[in-house]
Copies of this chain bind each other. A is one copy, B any other.
């Protein structure tokens, strides 16, 4: 990763660290994912948030949260979520799974947005699809994204792929991303490095925090 980070043109993007992915009653656990690795990444994301806030970075949080009438859910995900027994929109202890405004879509307290930070609901997987994220970043002069969150091989990867194609430079924070599947987590990170690093650079939480502190 670069030694320094341009505070004026870089944003921290925290993906889907919501109760539906982190709690035993949420979507992910009901879909059969191992949520322990997802929970374990929260402290590193909290460190990134603290460093980004101290450096004055733009911070964006996303939630995988679909329209209550399911009209914006990708059809492939409607099908998939029915197969696992954790259908999008079905009822659970945290409200309807992965639906906007339900308790399960709330970002976990330890990494919750503070005033002035952006929080967006996204249908599907890439945070750029079906949202105003691109326009929000353009309006703020953002050219580089620091990505973290869950899950590495699904929403982090889909968001990273779109960001790269849309002209952003990207830094994915290995130990601030997590998946229920260790081998797919590792593979998703390895894919960033192919052909010289087609999907940008990777870094550790320590390295990003140090670079942000260096200014």
Q: A residues engaging B (CB < 8 A)?
A: 31-33, 74-77, 79-84, 86, 123-126, 129-130, 151, 153-154, 157-158, 161-162, 164-170, 181, 183-184, 187-188, 190-191, 194-200
Question: B162 touching A76 by the CB < 8 A rule?
Answer: no
Q: Could you say which of B84, B167, B199 contacts A195, with CB atoms under 8 Å apart? A: B84
Residues of B close to A77: CB separation below 8 A = 164, 198
Task: Select from chain B the residue with minimum beta-carbon distance to A191.
Answer: B153
CB distance from A48 to the nearest CB of B (A): 20
Q: Could you say which of B154, B167, B191 contacts A188, with CB atoms under 8 Å apart? A: B191
Interface residues of chain A: helix, strand, loop or mixed (majority)? helix
| Cα–Cα distance between A181 and B197 once the two chains are bound (Å) | 14
Question: A158 touching B167 by the CB < 8 A rule?
Answer: no
Q: Could you say which of B74, B169, B196, B199 contacts A81, with CB atoms under 8 Å apart? A: B196
CB distance from A190 to the nearest CB of B (A): 6
Q: Could you say which of B183, B190, B191, B197 contacts A76, with CB atoms under 8 Å apart? A: B197
Task: Select from chain B the residue with minimum beta-carbon distance to A193.
Answer: B80
Residues of B close to A165: CB separation below 8 A = 74, 123-126, 129-130, 158
Question: B161 touching A81 by the CB < 8 A rule?
Answer: no
Question: A162 touching B164 by the CB < 8 A rule?
Answer: no
Residues of B close to A83: CB separation below 8 A = 196-197
